[in-house]
Structure 1
Amino acid sequence: MPSLSTILLGIQALPITIFGALILYNPVKAGFHDVPASVSHIIGFSSLSLGTAYIVAAFQPRRARHQFLLTTVPLRLAAAWVFRNDGNEARGAPMWDFVNSFVALGVVGFERGVFGF
């Protein structure tokens, strides 16, 4: 059975990979109807690249998975703060990043035995 950190990285990879593919396949459906094609392409391929990084990280040794997850925590917290200040346009993004940052800390702590399990 895969470890919790592998599962978490896989779960975190899904939305950004799907979003990147959707932007490239149908930018209008992704809400990019007023955005130049070049910007849609940049965001779409950047999202796919980030999703791919999460997938690759999921298959790395435990220490590398933990380093990757711990690196994402401050970035996710900063993103949650910025998205929250963006208002309703961001919708669920602030909560997604906020929760995932603490889930990442919890998973790394659990796998390292910090909690005594």
Structure 2
Amino acid sequence: MSEKNKRSEVYEKAVCDALVELISKAKGTCVSFESIDIAKLAGLPINAYTLYSIKKVLYKLMRAGMVRRLRRKKGRIFVVNCDSPLWSACKIKDREIVFEIISECIKNKD
């Protein structure tokens, strides 16, 4: 596995873990977050490269229809609602299924 693939897998796992944590604690039918929220939950350093890498994963999930994006004047907010397959997998806290869903979406979009 190349160095680039190893790094991208780290960010995929970080997004996976953060989404499981966010969605499993959700009391409503949707969750909204920014890339910086994912970085904080995953314990990653908050710098431009990390945030860019997380956004890359989130945009691929958005193109696959798993995540929606809301525009604001400043920045972007991503939203996962109860209709997404990610929602049910995260609610039961099954990290393997969530990681599998994320990996499939990213493979299909590369």
| TM-score after normalising by structure 1 | 0.30
Q: Write 1 or 2 for the structure with the bigger share of strand.
A: 2
Bigger helix fraction: 1
- Higher RCO structure, 1 or 2 (CA under 8 Å, sep 6+): 2
